[in-house]
Structure formats: structure tokens, C-alpha cells
Amino acid sequence: MGLLPVLAATGAFWLVGALWYGLVFGSVWLRETGIAQTPAPARMALIMGLTFAFEMLVVMTLAHLVARTDPSPRVVMMMATGFALTVMIPAIGINYLHQRKSLTLFLVDAGHFLAGMAAAGGVLIAFR
């Protein structure tokens, strides 16, 4: 897979997060995290930029697997959502258990990773 599909899939993942933590679950997420104020613009730009970079690493791994195995679209979606369900979400769960975070916060964040990976998988399929 080339850079363009990876960037587009990462953009889809990032856009899911922007909508998820903005319009859809923004107030719930803020309440559950206890975050009371928005970071300064420079800090927010850094947070968003690093979020994109981290999501791109995840998408690059998925794109590499897709490119090397040439799976059907159904299998691409199974890989994308399966990675979220079996690696990303359990990792969040382990951290949240030890940090004593709420189940609500876990479900919001887990849902973001599942929806984001599904979006990334869908974009990778579209570029094949």
C-alpha cells in the first residue's frame, strides 16, 4: 500500500475521533475524565498532531498486513475491527482498571477505537 491510502485511512480514523469526542460523546468524555478546560491552541495542535501520528502507526500496520496478504474486503474489515477488539481495547481496559477509570469512560474510548479502525479498514478497501 502506498502513502495516499495510509494517509486517507488515518484521516478517516482521526475524523471519527473528532466527531466521537466532539459532537457524539464530547460532554460525556469531559465529565468522565474530569477535564474542565480546553488546552491552549499550541498545546491542542500538538495533541492533535501526535494523535494523527499515533493513529498513522496503527493504520500503517493494518495497511502492511493488507498489502502482504491480499485479503477479501470482508477479511480486511475483520482484521481492522479484530485488531481493535483484541489488542487496542484490551490494552485500554488494562490501563483503566489500574487507573480506576469508569466503565463509561472505557466504553466511550473503546467505541472510538472500534469505529476508528472500522473507518480505516473501509478506506483501505476503497483504495484497493
Contact 91, 70 (CB under 8 A): no
Its pTM surpasses 0.85: yes
Task: Please give the mean pLDDT across all residues of the chain.
Answer: 96
Distance CA 48, CA 83 (A): 22
Model pLDDT, residue 1: 76
CA separation (Å) from 76 to 4, 12, 36, 47? 18, 16, 39, 29
pLDDT tens-digit map of 46-86: 999 999 999 999 999 999 999 999 999 999 999 999 999 99
